Amino acid sequence: MRQLEGLFVFLLGMAVHWIWSTRFALWGLAPMIPLVLTIAVASRNGSVAGECYGFAWGLFLDMLGMHVFGASALGLTLVGYFVGTLRRNMDLASLPSQLMLVAGLTPLFLLFYGTMGLVFEHRFLWVGWKLLLLTPLCNCLVAPFCFAVVHRFVRSGRTNEMDLS
C-alpha cells in the first residue's frame, strides 16, 4: 500500500506541475511543484527517498524542457540529499522552517540549472530576473499544500506508535 501511495504522490506532482505550468501560468510564472515536493519528501523521509523522488521528478522536468537533459534530475537529486541530511540538524516540521528552506533552495536550483547550461551548452541558461525573484514566492505559496500531501500520503519507513494513529 505504501508503494501505491508513493506512486500516487509522484504522478500527482507531475500532473499538477504540467497542468499549472501550461494552463495557469501568469506571465510565465508558475511554482516548481517537483522541487517543493522533493523538499517535502526529503524532509519527511530522509535523503534516500528525497534523492529517488527528486531524480524521477527531475527526469520528468528534463523531458519537458529543451535544454541539458539530466540537469534537473541531478539538481533535484542534490536537493533531496541536502534536505535529507539537513533534517537531522534542523526542525523541518514547522511551517516557517519549511518556507525558509523552499525560498532558499529555489534560486539555488535555478542558478545550478543555469550553470549546467554553461558547462554543457557553453552558455548560461538564464531564466530572467522575474523568474529568479518571484518563483521562490510562488513555491512558498504552494509549499504548505505540498507538505500536507506528502505528510498524508508518503509514509516513512519506520513504524512506531505515533505513525499508527
* Choice among 42-46, 53-57, 157-161 with the minimum mean pLDDT: 157-161
Question: Alpha-carbon distance 134 to 33, whole Å?
Answer: 14
Phi-psi region of 151 (alpha: psi -120 to 50; beta: other; left: phi over 0): alpha
Look over the chain and give the mean of its residue pLDDT values, rounded to a whole number.
89
Does residue 129 sit within a domain?
yes
What's the whole-number mean pLDDT along residues 149-159?
Answer: 76
Overall domain count for the chain:
1
Question: Alpha-carbon distance 42 to 40, whole Å?
Answer: 6
Question: Alpha-carbon distance 8 to 30, whole Å?
Answer: 22
What's the whole-number mean pLDDT along residues 68-81?
Answer: 94
Does residue 134 sit within a domain?
yes
Contact 5, 153 (CB under 8 A): yes
pTM of the predicted model as reported, rounded to 2 decimal places? 0.90
Does residue 164 sit within a domain?
no
Does residue 158 sit within a domain?
no
**Which domain range does residue 58 map to?**
2-153
The pLDDT tens digits for 126-149 are 888 888 999 999 999 999 999 999
Does residue 159 sit within a domain?
no
Query: pLDDT value at position 27?
Result: 83
Please indicate whether residue 119 or residue 156 has the higher confidence score (pLDDT): 119
- In the predicted model, is pLDDT for residue 158 greater than 70? no
Q: Which DSSP string do the residues of 94-163 spell out, in sequence order?
A: SHHHHHHHHHHHHHHHHHHHHHHHHHHSSS-----HHHHHHHHHHHHHHHHHHHHHHHHH---S---HHH
